[in-house]
Structure 1
C-alpha cells in the first residue's frame, strides 16, 4: 500500500505529529494529487477535539486542498498531469439519490463521503489534506484557475463555497441589501462575494476592530450589531450568520425586510430559539446552507478567477508539527486574519 507523509492527531485533543498514512489506490477514475496547500478550517478543530461527534482516529484533517495532478487513472477524462486542482469537503456520494441526481451531492441522502474523519463506502477511513498527497475520484475534483495564488485559493474549497452557495441561492445582487454577521474566515469571503455580485453590503460585528478591513473588502459600512437592532429595522434583504455565537434571533429578524431571510452557515454550540411572531408578520425565513455541490463549487472557483477573489491567509510552516497546535489555539482565540493555510511541502 502506498503512503504519504501526513500530520496526524491520534486521539481527541492530542498534539499533531508526523506519520506515514495510507493513500487510496489509483483506480481507473481516480486522480493523484500532490498537495501544495491545505487550509485550516474551524471544523477541523471541532473534529480533532471530538467537539461535534465521536471522531475516527488517527485523524488527518483538512478539506481545503489545492494541489497539482501527478497521475490519473486510465479512464480519467477531466484532468491531466500538471493541472491545478482542488478538493473540498467531500470525495464521493451515492450518485443515486434524488439530490445526487440533481447535482446536489452535498445533500446526498445516503451521506456523502467526507474528505476526512469519514469512511468510504467500502468501510475504509478517509484522510484529508494535512498531507503531501491525496487520491480522489475525478468527479469530486475541481479545477482551480491558474491565475489565483494557490495558498490564498485553498480556503475557497470550504469557506468560499460555504458563503457563495447561499448568496447565489438567495439571489444576492444589484438592488439587494445584505448583511454579513461576523467578519472571520467565513465572513470575509461573504463580503467579497456579495460585493462582486453587486449587492449593497454591510458587516455586523460585536466591536469596531475590523471596520477598516470590512471597508477594504468593499462593505458600505460596519455596524455594531446590538446598536443596529433599532436603527436598521426593515433594512436587509438577507442576513448571513457566519458566527458560532448565541444570537438574539428575534432582533435579527426585525432587521429584515418583508420576505427577507436569516441564513445560518455558522454553527453555534447551543440551540437557538425565536418567537414565531417574528417571522409570520413579515413573510420571513430562518434558513441554513451546507457548503455546495460540485458544479456549484466549480462555478464559484471560476467566479473567483474572473474577479480575482481569494482568501486572506497566513501560511503555516509545518516543519515542526507543533506549529499546527499553535495555529489551532490562535483560531480558537480569533487571532488570525483570516485563514491559516499549511504549506504541504513542509510536512
Structure 2
C-alpha cells in the first residue's frame, strides 16, 4: 500500500491540472482505480509519478461533450482553426459524471495512492510521503444547480477549486473557444448566476480558475473576486496567439492580485503556430516560463501540465518526463530557489492565501 515511505520533497512537482479522472472513468470507473497503482498508458499513474518526482496536483472532474462527429484534434493540427463551442451539457447528466469521477478519487485515497487535501498543511505533510497530494477541482460547472446545493455537497467532499466554465457555455458564463489565431476577447462574460458563484467561492475559500474563461469573464472575476486571480493551466499569448492564452494585460492583473499562472504543456498553446503537434522543444516551454516570470513575477508562476487532457511535447511525454523540464530550467540559469517556487512553492503560497481568505 502506498503512503508509508518518506520521500525528499525539496524538488517535487505540484501540478496545476490533470485529467486522469476522466481517463479512469472511460477505462472502467471506480473499478479501474486499482490500475492507477501500476503501469498504464495514462500520462499519470503512481509509477510515472514516482519516476517524475510528481508529488501531487489538481485532479479535475470534467464532463465530455456529446460526440458531434467533428475531429477537433485534427482541426487543431491545421495552420488556422476555429473549433465551434459545444452545446451546453444537461445538468443531471453532468452531475452523474462528476459524482463518478469524485468517487474514483475517493477510491484512490482508499487505496493509499492519493490524499485529498483541503489545507496547505495537509499538502505539505502529504508531500513528504509517496502518496499524491490531490486537490479536487471541477473543470466547468455544468453539474452545479442554480441553488448551489451541489456546490455545498462537493465542498463537503473536498472540492477546493473550480472553473466556472470549460470551453463551452454554462448557466454561469461562456467559455473561450479553441481558436487560432485569436485573442481571448470572444463572447460575453459571466451571467448574474456566475457572479453569485464567484461570491460563494470567495466565502467558502474555493479557488476560481480562469483558464477557460474568455476575456470578459476574466474581467468579471477580476472585478468581483477578493481572491488572487489564478489560471491553473494557461500560457503567454504574445508567444502563441491562441484564444486560450493570456494577454499581457491579463498577466498584469494576475500580478496585481498576487495570483498565479500554471504553464500548460499542451502543444497547441506552446507552439508559435498554434498547432496541436508533439514536436515542441523544451526550449519553447522555457520561453513561456520566461515571459510569465517577466510579467507576473517569480512568486506567481508554476506548472499546470494538462496531463491526460492534451497532446504533450514528445520530449516530456508524461509525468515521468518532468525531470527533463527541471534539468532544462537548471541549464537555462534558473537557481535552486526559483525552481522550488516553480515546481511547488508558488502553488502552496496561492492556495494558502485563497483557502484562508474566507469570511
TM-score by length of 2: 0.29
Structure 1 or 2: more strand by fraction: 1
TM-score by length of 1: 0.29
